[in-house]
C-alpha cells in the first residue's frame, strides 16, 4: 500500500496581539486585543485584579441595522459590556468579543471607552 498523502502545509497564523494600558481615575487598566481575520477579542481588566468574569458578543446581521448582541459569560445584570461591544462592532465593522472585567463605579466607563477609541484611531491595524 502506497501512502499518497502529502505532508501538511504550515500556514502562518492570522492572529495577532496588542497590549496597552492606561491609568484611569487611579486605576491601572490593561487592554489586551487578539485580532483575527474577521473578528477580534478585547479583554479589559484592572491590572491589579486580573480575572475573566464577563464576555459579550456583537455581530452584524444581514437582516438588521443594529448588531445582534448577547452576554456569553457573566450574570448580565449590567449591560455595560454588551453596550460597548455593540459600539465597537459598529466602529470596527467586524464581529467583536468583549470581556469587560473592571469593577467599580460607572464613572470609569466613559474614560475607558474614550481610551479604547483613541487606540483604535491611532492603531487601527491592531484591531
71 pLDDT higher than 70 = yes
Binned at pLDDT 50, 70 and 90, residue 6 comes out as confident
Cα 70 from Cα 111, distance rounded (Å): 23
Is the whole model's pTM more than 0.85, yes or no?
yes
Q: Does an H or E element contain 126, and which?
A: none
User: All domains of the chain, ordered by start, with CATH?
Assistant: 16-126 (3.30.230.100)
Question: What confidence tens digit (pLDDT) does each residue in 18-41 have?
Answer: 999 999 999 999 999 999 999 999
Mean pLDDT of 71-98: 93
Q: What is the spatial distance between Cα 122 and Cα 127, in angstroms, rounded to a whole number?
A: 11
pLDDT of residue 76: 67
Amino acid at each position: 500500500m502506497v501512502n499518497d498523502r502529502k505532508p501538511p502545509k504550515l500556514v502562518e497564523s492570522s492572529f495577532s496581539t496588542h497590549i496597552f494600558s492606561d491609568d484611569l481615575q487611579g486605576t491601572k487598566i490593561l487592554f489586551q486585543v487578539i485580532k483575527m481575520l474577521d473578528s477580534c477579542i478585547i479583554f479589559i481588566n484592572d491590572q491589579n485584579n486580573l480575572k475573566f468574569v464577563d464576555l459579550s458578543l456583537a455581530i452584524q446581521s444581514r437582516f438588521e441595522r443594529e448588531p445582534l448582541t448577547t452576554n456569553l459569560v457573566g450574570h448580565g445584570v449590567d449591560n455595560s459590556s454588551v453596550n460597548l461591544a455593540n459600539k465597537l462592532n459598529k466602529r470596527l465593522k467586524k464581529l467583536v468579543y468583549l470581556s469587560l472585567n473592571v469593577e467599580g463605579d460607572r464613572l470609569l466607563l466613559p474614560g475607558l471607552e474614550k481610551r479604547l477609541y483613541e487606540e483604535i484611531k491611532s492603531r487601527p491595524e491592531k484591531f
